[in-house]
Structure 1
Amino acid sequence: MTLLSLPARRTATATVAALVAGFTLCTSSIASSAEQRTDHRRPGAARIVGSADIVLPYVSDNDVRSFSIDAVAAPYSIPRPKIPTGLPVDARGTVRISHHSADDNVTYTSEGQVECLVTGPNTATVTALITKVSHEETGSLGKRVGLSVYDGGKGGGKGGKADRLGFSWNGVNLLPNGEDAEVGTCMAPAPYAPVVKGGYTVTHAELAPLPRP
């Protein structure tokens, strides 16, 4: 086995030390980057999760209307035109909507990707872009929908909860000419429909400050 000379060993030692230092710095940077990417998943992040059936106060039928929401805040994560930093209300997650028509014996389903979430104590508003539909004739594919939730906590209401939900169609978001209006980010009506099965949990958090330049 060939032994290194003293100068060579010093050079090798310095090289190894530099590599170790570089690896440590790289590892720290990766960890820091990963921490930043997952920061919105921490317990303090605003979020809404749950699934429920609702009834419409102004309709008497046997239809089953269900909404599942799993959304969490991801501030400044969605670059937008003229707003490259994103917004404090940016969010991620999934919304699933199901409507079973008793008269037609057909179940219409859709799924959307959450893009915006804003909360207050016991309340939340979320919007999502519809990416999947069971029936294209509904015309909802590619459109933004808005949902609002009131988390009534334990006690009161059917199923032991007093939760409520609102959504941005069925006549609550119309233009002066009677046609449906487009839905803006985080826009939805007040939660007007009582929950009759299931429920939602809202975790409120203040909007994140602007990122440092």
Structure 2
Amino acid sequence: MSRMKPATSLFRSRKAAALTMVVAIVASATAATGATASVPARERPAQAGVTGSAVLRLPYLEDADIRSLAFDAHAAPYSRPIPGVPTGLPTDAYGTVKVSHYSAERDITYTAEGAVDCLVTAPGSSATLTAVITEVSDGGPDWVGKRLGFSVHDGGVDKPGKGSRDRVGYSWDDGVNWTADSDEHMDSVGSCMAPAAFAPVVRGGYRVQHADLPLWPTT
């Protein structure tokens, strides 16, 4: 998490360009999420899911970075056999997670994408999910092959003139997952494990579709 350096006109123009790109992505995802939210409850899928995209703010740090997370995650219980558990788990899931981070200190935007492998939701429109990273752009961290954890709180439909009530969290943040070895925490994320959704959303939003975990198969 980089702290802000003195701004220049060139820096401001590059930051504006990065923000414009992120806003366009978030606006597109938010429009799609809004369309989904308008579907009557009886027509919605029975399985849990997390969708949407948003720019977030770190509550404990003031900097010029632009951070966004996008989710398209869907439950698929008992679909991923693992050693010792041929049926898979009730929290099995599929989908994608996308990370975008404009670093003001480095004046670079890096992106990452991962495959969702676990999702669990709770009443009150909250969820945790994990994804194994499959792609990282040039200049990004060494995440390929690592599992990262995410948490989402869906605060409901935004009220006119009010800020978003959605929040999001992630496992690699040094403020919530610190160890003496700065890389150790990157390898310690189990399936569906993530901190509470600590970061407020400043643009965009998420939709959490809750569904209880199904019973274990009897055969």
What TM-score do the two structures reach when normalised by structure 2? Answer: 0.74
After superposition, residues 83-122 of structure 1 pair within 5 angstroms as 83-121=85-123, 122=125
Offset at residue 69 of structure 1 (A): 0.2
Q: Which residue of 2 aligns with 1:31?
A: none
The 2-side partners of 1:185 and 1:158 are apart by 38
After superposition, residues 125-164 of structure 1 pair within 5 angstroms as 125-135=128-138, 138-155=141-158, 160-164=163-167
Letter in 2 for 1:168: S
The 2-side partners of 1:60 and 1:191 are apart by 18
Q: Which of 166, 180, 188 is the matching residue for 2:184? A: 180
Offset at residue 137 of structure 1 (A): 5.7
Q: Deviations over 1:62-118 (max 9, x none)?
A: 111010000000000001111111000000000000001123220111000000000
Contact between 1:156 and 1:162, CA under 8 Å: does it hold in 2? no
- Give the greater-gyration-radius structure (CA): 1
The 2-side partners of 1:100 and 1:176 are apart by 26
Structure 1 pair 176/119, CA: closer, same or farther in 2 (3 Å)? Answer: same
- What do you get for the CA RMSD once the two structures are aligned? 1.9
Q: Deviations over 1:118-169 (max 9, x none)?
A: 0002100000000000036611111000000000012469864200000001
- Runs of 5+ consecutive residues of structure 1 not aligned to the other structure: 1-41
Q: Which residue of 1 aligns with 2:66?
A: 64
Q: Which of 194, 197, 200 is the matching residue for 2:200? A: 194
Letter in 2 for 1:173: N
Instruction: State how many pairs are aligned.
Output: 172
The 2-side partners of 1:65 and 1:124 are apart by 20
Offset at residue 174 of structure 1 (A): 3.3
